[in-house]
Each structure stands twice: as structure tokens, then as C-alpha cells.
Amino acid sequence: MREKTNLNKTGSFKKLFIKICRIFGYELIDQGNFYIPTRDKLLNENISIQGKKSINLPLGEVQISRKVKALTIIFRSCTNVNMLTQNKKRLFDCEKSEYTFRSLHSIISSLKNAKNLFSKINFNIIVVDHNSGKKDQDKIKNQLIKSTIKYSLITLDLNEFKDKIKTTNEKNEPVTKNQISNMSNIYKSLLISKDQCEDLIYFVEDDYIHHNNFIEEMILTYERISSQTKKELILCPADYPYLYTDIDQSNIFLGSTMHWRTVNETLCTFLTSKIIIKKYWDKLISMCEFEHYPFEQPLHDIYKLEYCLSPIPSLAFHCTNINSIFGLSPNVDWKKAWDNSKDY
């Protein structure tokens, strides 16, 4: 536990000056002991104020004009399909349900942490489940109940989308049943985001393990960079290995506590705003109605027009096969993150 500076030993004039600075929103820094008396914090702690200002030394303050009001997590689950397009085993060699439970637990842990930090933000988690067994669904529901976070558990009805999804893909081949269910789940998630969500939405598949601070970092980063650029954003929490296979130019942004870079491609796990969803509704829905190659091509088209950012290092990793270029994020202790996600 860190020792806090004892302000009782500070002179009366200095204490009065600190109070005045607090009233007018100024920060004082004691560079001798790395301490901020106006905030009673050390410089290596998070000193930003959500919805008001982002502070990063030595660059100073960014006044927040784009305040986050709400975050909805839309979690797409399916415990009975190991891999959508492959028969390979996943990292850690577990049943698919284990990845679903751990992924959900890692999200809930981060949500609870963010809820304690950001009392003015409305948090909500919606699970859209397809074809998981009753035992698995009960376990998912139990995780949600124990979280004390507002939640919904929706069972996907494929008949809702059977007349909307083309059965032949861009290669003029039949679309597989697994892919149709995947497209239906994404379609349902987008409809929910448009009709029910208030502000930010995080769309996530059920095989991503997240670090505990990922929601805190993404919210504060969204506010900071959106306020600077005057634009809505797309944030991907995973630093995919395939992003390093080509030499692409990137713009580097300073987030809350880490660096973020522009990327041109992601999978279907990303955070964005309802404003972006409405702006590119037809483009997003096209991804669900027709199987492109790559599948996420409509997303990539949007990234040509909007900032899509990925963190360095990663805030989450994708539990695919260890050799997959879409899997393990580099320079991250993913074994530790996996172990920390067990306690569900």
C-alpha cells in the first residue's frame, strides 16, 4: 500500500492554495515525490476524470467534449460449435463451453471494475445465444445473475433471418449452416444495438479473454481521442498477429494509459457508438445478408472512412488455434490472463 502525503504537515497557506486550485479545476504536481496534492494521487495512477478531462503527463489535459453515457456489451455465444470454419483444436485444448464461460467472466470482471469507477455510466450486458445446451445456458445465466449488472439473455431464432440471408456466397458456394447461424447472430446483435442501446456498444464473440482493465481503458480512450478528433470511433481490443504480417502505415494515438494505432482490418469483435451503427447501417447489415470474402469486408470498407484503433499491447486475445494469425496477441502474458478468467 502506498503512503499518502500527510497534508496536516503542510502549511496553512499551501493547504488553502490547494483548495482554491481544486475549486477552479487546476492540478498541482509535486515533482519531488511524484504526488498530486489536488487529487491525493500519485502520478503513476490514473488521474483522468471520466466525462471531464483526460490527463496524461507530460502532455497535460484534454477537455472531454465527447462524454460516454452508456455501454452495452452484446455477447454472442454458442457452446456447441468448436470452430466456425476449422476443425483444429483451440489453444489450451478445452471444450468450447470453457472458452465461453471464461470469456464472459473476463468481461463481467472488467464491467464490475468499471462500474465502481464510473458511477454516471449505465452498463448493460446482453447475451445472444444460439443452440447452447440447457446446462450451458443455465451456467451463463448464473454468471449474469451473480454479476449484479443489468442483463438480458436472448435465445437466437434462426427463422427470424432465414429469408434475409443469401445461401450462396461470394465464391458462388453454398453458405454453411454454421456460417448462417453466425450471420444471424451478428444480424440480431446489430438490430439490438440500433433499437435498444443508448451510446457505446461492444460486440464480442465468446472466445476472447480480456484483461481486467479493458473497459476502463476503452471508455477513457474513446472519450479522449473522440474529443480530440471530433469523430466517433471504432475500437478493437485485440492486437491481432496478422496485423504484423504486412508493413502498413499507421497513425499512433495516445489513449488513457497505452498507445493505440489505426488499423484497416478487424474481426467481428469491436466497440463503437450507436451513431456509427446508424450511419453505416446498410453496410453493416450487408455483412449479415451475404457472405463476403473476407467475411468482414463491409467493416473494412467503413475503416477507410472512420478511425479504427487497436491497442499496443493488447487488451484481449482470441482463443483460436495457437498457429492462427487471428489468435494470440504478441508480447502479452496470455497464460496469466487465461488463469485469471477461471473463477466463474
**pLDDT per position as a tens digit, 296-327:** 999 999 999 999 999 999 999 999 988 888 88
DSSP 155-211: E--GGGTTTTS-SB-TTS-BPPHHHHHHHHHHHHHHHHHHHH--SEEEEEETTEEE-
Residues 251 and 302 in one domain: yes
For 156, the grid coordinates are: 437466437
Q: Which domain holds residue 31?
A: 1-45
Residues 122 and 253 in one domain: yes
Residues 79 and 120 in one domain: yes
For 221, the grid coordinates are: 480512450
pLDDT at site 17: 65
Residues 30 and 166 in one domain: no
pLDDT at site 344: 65
Please count the structural domains in the chain: 2
The enclosing domain of 199 has a CATH number of 3.90.550.10
Blockwise average pLDDT, block size 10, the chain, 344 residues: 48 70 68 70 75 83 95 96 68 93 97 95 97 95 96 97 95 94 97 97 97 96 97 97 89 95 96 98 97 96 98 95 88 90 79
What phi and psi values does residue 262 have, to the nearest 5 degrees?
A: -70, 140
Nearest residue to 331 via CA among 234, 203, 219, 240: 240
pLDDT at site 55: 82
Q: Give the span between the Cα atoms of 288 and 225, in whole angstroms.
A: 29
pLDDT at site 246: 84
pLDDT at site 47: 76
Q: Report whether the peptide linkage leading into residue 313 is cis, meaning its omega lies within 30 degrees of zero.
A: yes
63 part of a folded domain: no
pLDDT at site 2: 47
Residues 171 and 28 in one domain: no
Residues 78 and 13 in one domain: no
Which residue among 45, 62, 79 closes a domain? 45
96 part of a folded domain: yes
What phi and psi values does residue 64 have, to the nearest 5 degrees?
A: -85, 115
